[in-house]
Structures are given as structure tokens and as C-alpha cells.
Structure 1
């Protein structure tokens, strides 16, 4: 048995402003709710202001979107519920009461929310990094502990019970700015960090001198997100798209790197925002269908078809899909057939696309007789959201991992 990973793009939306943050709601009964944050630099004249001064600073403008996902809606499952104009949004998180934030002056803030009034109370604020503080994150298992990363290439830990005068550790393993951190919600003491140096490090927070694993993803790591129930890591790698890493072997077998299970490369700009939904989607595995052979001649053609498909897979290995209408309806499938070689970007890519008005699955159901290329087991698919910056595009896609026997 070998694993095959399949992704299907469900919907593409234009966010108008540059998109850099997405987050699915983690609260029960609201898992279908998605937020998207944007960050747009605008010149003063775009705001319609008069009597402009020379060198007047640009305005950082943002918009917060709220969406609802409905799986039963075949063509446009994501519906916009609300949009709010506000200052530029660099990142966003859904969470309880306490909030931690970082800013461009290298400071961290710890803030509490009072549900009885629309106000935030600053509990603590301190200088944490020499340059921009790109990220701040709680330890999920102990919210008195906060981690931070900055453009000074330092990863730091802070324990609020011990005060803010000095960190509990300073780590300089990353060679460039640390811009993503997330505590593992399934395993205590496990931490994932990412950096402009294109490396993802997995840590045991009890021993921060040496990481458990080091994976080079060939792109600056702007965001890392742990899967809601598995030790899979979703990464937004700026110039190199989005990747799903399998980290289970780090804990079970002591592997020193996390193999990349799948790479989603359909964005055409900086990969910034990414998140898993807690919704579980029942899906029939995506298979390659073609007419079943009815004679010896057809059988020979079938073998030729199989050989041609394998050759085509090699040609499509570095495929980059372009599309004209980001909001149009289309059906896109990308398959990644994994291997056991452990290579950094293993497998090959296949892609099939249709015009905006054609649905591949419904069209195939009308054909009289088809056969599949393997024996597939039905699985539950994962729902993901990813967004890219300069093209201001939000993708909603489904990813699934199946086990299949060799082709017949």
C-alpha cells in the first residue's frame, strides 16, 4: 500500500485588499465560520485628502471578512457574512479572554478582555526584541508562558509568573527573522517555529538548545498551523507555496526532518495565511476515470494509456496553474502520489482543469462505463483555507490522504 494525497480547489475569492491572515473558528457549533484579514498600503491621495504634503506617510488600511462555509452548496460553499473596514491586519487569532500581541517596535503586550464592556485592558507591555517582533504565541498547555520571535533572529520564552524583566530562554538557532510559532495542541512541550531562513524547527520546550527536527522548505515560513487532531503541520512558505508536513515520525521514530506530504502551488503570489478547519468532510476519493476496455485492441490501448499517464506525471512535476477569473466557478484537482524515499518534495503532480461552466464529476457520471486506476478506500477530507498577498486571493480547498493498491 502507498499513500496518495489529493487536493481539490472548491472556491477562489478576490479579497480586494492584500490577504495575509485566515482563521477558522475553533468553537464548537461554529466550525463553519472563517475570518480573513487584509493589509493594504495606500497613498494619501487614494484617500481623497487635499493639500498633500511631500513625503506624507502611506496609510495602512485593512478589512476583516467573515464567511460561512456550507458543504451542501456545490459551486460556492463559502458565503460572505460581513466585512469591516479597519486599520491593517497583520495576523488574527480566535481565542479565550487573554490576548498576546507583538508590534513593529519589538514590544509584546498581554491584554485581557472584559466581556461586560467593549474594552481591552493592557496587563503588561515590554520590550522583547531589538527589531520588529513578528510573532507572539501562548503555550497551549500553560498560558502563563508566551513565546515570541523577532527580526533579530531570536526565539524567546516568557513566563508571566516570573515577571517580564528577562526571558526564560533565548534561542538563536534560526539564522534570520523568526516569524511563526505555534504550540502543539496534541503533545505537551512540543513547539513548531518558522523563519525567513526557510527552515521549520520542531522543539521540546523543556530542552531548547537543540531542535528535535529541522526541515528546509525552500521558502520563508510566514505561518505554521498544527492540524486539529493529527501531528500534521500546515505551512505558508511565502515564495514557495503551502506545504503539509508529517511530523509524527519525529515523535515515534526520532526522525530529524518532517517529510512533506503535499504541496499546494495554485497561488500566484506570496503565501501568507493558512489554516485547517475542524469540519470533517465525507468524500468519495478522487480517482482517474477512463472507459473500460472492451476488446484486445482496447486492452492494448489501455496499457498505452497507463504508460502515457506515468510519462505525463513527470512533465507536470513543476506545473504552475494560471487562471483568468479568480471568482469564477471551476473544478481543479491536484494529486500528489507519495513515495517512501523521504525526499524533500517527493512524488509528482497531476492537474486537470475545466471551463467555468463544466463540472468534471457530473460530466463523468453521464458516461456509460468507466474503470478506476486503483482500489481506493473512502476517507474523510480536510478543509483548508489559504490566502496570498499581492494578488489578494483566498482559496478554499479540500485535502485527503488515501491508501491505494497498484493500478490494474
Structure 2
């Protein structure tokens, strides 16, 4: 088993649920960590509307790093998910963020003042009195000046939006799930196609050219569907993760049943394909810690990391090294580890 060598640990202040390395050159040493926390007074007073606070921390982590210190901090509403576009948009690395007040925010990574920082570029209200739960870009494989984003929400809906100039245009809304739509994601090989997973245990696929309906609905998961990830380098390959503690491998040409599965010992909140090793996957497994998996003819667990003391929510590979960022919720921790694979 490959050994995780922990290099740094950092206290995130609020509960941490998202870590994402920038995929765009020359900024691949840039990492964001997103946090989410109920205001203490809201926890004590059930009659008041709950206020969820959040912060985005921006780091540079490279061979010169000796300790973790954010170079920029943004106070915002609670962060539920963040994703970098794999390609610049109008020459800027761009970060999509979804929040506890139902908004989609797009931030540009800028260097105008001589120091890197995130600047809010666009903001769109997905809905009132909902949480925006997940976000994905259509452009993880191919670049586009007018990329689309898919956002899921706590009311069970899925939204597709497109960047048009300096604005966001709504392409459509699908009322998909009876409970929370935990996850939505594109097929990176055919970005008219996208998927969603919900707390109703359903895994659905859609085509934006067929508005208002799903094209398939799969009932094979034994609990809520919490993670979906298309493979940008292997056509037709898709992963799902579920509260049922299984990672399933799918061929997108036939979504009636998965072509493989593996039990990872915890509810699967995040799945990330390795940027260079096609059969290697990083999984955040909630109460089961973090795992590195090999997904091939013989699917297996290659290594595990149990160094966090709370729910394993956020995980990502750095694009140019063996570094992995992980974060956990109630203990408010972010770890950077070296993971040879």
C-alpha cells in the first residue's frame, strides 16, 4: 500500500468541506479551501433563520513552502462546493463557487496588484431559501469562451447556465429529485449531456436539447447519490459515489447497471480522477477517511488516509506533483500530503 506522507496541517477556522487545486498553467501551485459553518446563535435559536457563514482561503503551495498561510481570504456565505475551470475564460483562471444562500459565484484569479487574489466577477441567484449544493463546468476536456455550468440544489432541482459575455444566461431548470440533489456533473465528451444524483437514491441523465425531462433514471444505488465524475481522458467512463459506501463505475452508453463497484468503507462525498494516471481515483469517504483507488479490470483500494478526526469531505490532486489536499468538517482541518501512486 502506498503510504501517505503528511507534510502540513492547517486549522481552517470554520468547518472545511472543499479543497481544489488550480488546473491552469502557470498557477498549478494555487489551492483554494472552502468552509461552511452555522452561526452559533442560529444553532441555539431554532426560531430564527439559520445563518451559514463561509470563507474561501487562497494558498500558494510549492517546493518553497515551509508552512501554510493563506495569501488571500474572502468572507462569504457558507461554501458547499467549488470547481476551477480547466481552461482560462477571457484569459483568467476562473473559480465557480456555490453557496448556502442559493448563489453561484464566479471568481477570477488576478495578479493586478502584484499579488494573486480572487476577484468576484459574476454572481447569479439560483433560488430563494435553498442551498446550492454542487457545481461543475462543461469545459474540463475542451476549452470554450462561453462555457456552461450545472448546479444542483437542496430543493432537488438542477440548473444549467451559460456564460455569455459578462453575464450568466439560464439554459434550463430540471426539477429532478424528491429530496436534495446532492450532485450534478457534465459528460465532458458530450457537454449537452449531464447527470444528477439525489437523496432519493436516484441517478439521472439529461440532455439540454430535451428540456424539462430526464432521459434515464437509475435506481441501483442503495442510498443517496452524492458524487458523480466523468473521465476527461477516457470516453464513456463515469464514476458515482453514494452514502451506501460504494464507488460504482459506469459506461455512459448504457446506464442500466454499473460495470463495476467497490466498497470503500464510508459514504462517498468526492471523487477525483488522477490528472495523469487514467485508472487512479481519489475518494473522500466521509466517516471512512480518504482512499486512493485503482479503477480497472480489477478495482482495488491502493491506499488510505485516516489522519483526519472528522467527516472527510474535500479532496483533490495537485496537477504537477504527488501532493494531495484533504479537508475535514467538524475538526476544521486541511492537510497536505505526498501520495506516491
Task: Tell me the TM-score normalised to structure 1 length.
Answer: 0.66
Per the alignment, in what secondary structure is the counterpart of residue 219 of structure 1? coil
Alignment correspondent of 1:386: 326
Structure 1 or 2, whichever has the larger Rg, is 1
Provide the rounded CA distance (Å) in 2 between the counterparts of 1:210 and 1:120: 36
Provide the rounded CA distance (Å) in 1 between the counterparts of 2:46 and 2:250: 48
Alignment correspondent of 2:70: 80
Alignment correspondent of 1:238: 286
Maintained 8 Å contact 2:42/2:50: no
Alignment correspondent of 2:27: 30
Provide the rounded CA distance (Å) in 1 between the counterparts of 2:237 and 2:332: 33
Match for residue 101 of structure 1 among 111, 133, 151: 151
Where in structure 2 are there 5+ consecutive unaligned residues?
A: 86-138, 140-146
Match for residue 62 of structure 1 among 44, 54, 58: 54
Maintained 8 Å contact 1:44/1:57: no
Once the 2 structures are TM-superposed, how far is the Cα of residue 114 of structure 1 from its aligned partner?
4.0
Provide the rounded CA distance (Å) in 2 between the counterparts of 1:126 and 1:58: 26
1:208 and 2:231 equivalent?
no
RMSD (Å) for aligned C-alpha atoms: 1.7
Once the 2 structures are TM-superposed, how far is the Cα of residue 163 of structure 1 from its aligned partner?
2.1
Once the 2 structures are TM-superposed, how far is the Cα of residue 53 of structure 1 from its aligned partner?
7.8
Provide the rounded CA distance (Å) in 1 between the counterparts of 2:201 and 2:29: 36
Q: Runs in 1 of length 4+ with deviation above 3 angstroms?
A: 43-46
Question: In the TM superposition, what are the counterparts of 1:312-327 in structure 2 within 5 Å?
Answer: none
Provide the rounded CA distance (Å) in 1 between the counterparts of 2:161 and 2:257: 31
CA gap 1:54/1:105 in 2 versus in 1, 3 angstroms: closer
- Greater helix content: 1
Provide the rounded CA distance (Å) in 2 between the counterparts of 1:94 and 1:132: 23
Alignment correspondent of 2:266: 219
Question: In the TM superposition, what are the counterparts of 1:137-152 in structure 2 within 5 Å?
Answer: 137-152=185-200
Question: In the TM superposition, what are the counterparts of 1:323-338 in structure 2 within 5 Å?
Answer: none
Aligned residues: 280
CA displacement 1:232-265 (0-9 Å, x = unmatched): 01000001100000113x2xxxx3xx21000011
Alignment correspondent of 1:295: none
Maintained 8 Å contact 2:59/2:69: yes
Provide the rounded CA distance (Å) in 2 between the counterparts of 1:145 and 1:152: 21
- Greater strand content: 2
Alignment correspondent of 2:63: 71
Per the alignment, in what secondary structure is the counterpart of residue 209 of structure 2? helix
Provide the rounded CA distance (Å) in 2 between the counterparts of 1:121 and 1:85: 26
Maintained 8 Å contact 1:69/1:79: no
Match for residue 302 of structure 2 among 258, 261, 269: 261
Per the alignment, in what secondary structure is the counterpart of residue 191 of structure 2? strand
CA displacement 1:83-114 (0-9 Å, x = unmatched): 11111111111125311100000011111224
CA displacement 1:52-73 (0-9 Å, x = unmatched): 9871122111111111112123
Once the 2 structures are TM-superposed, how far is the Cα of residue 126 of structure 1 from its aligned partner?
2.1
CA displacement 1:185-222 (0-9 Å, x = unmatched): 22100000000000110000111122111101111111
1:173 and 2:220 equivalent?
yes
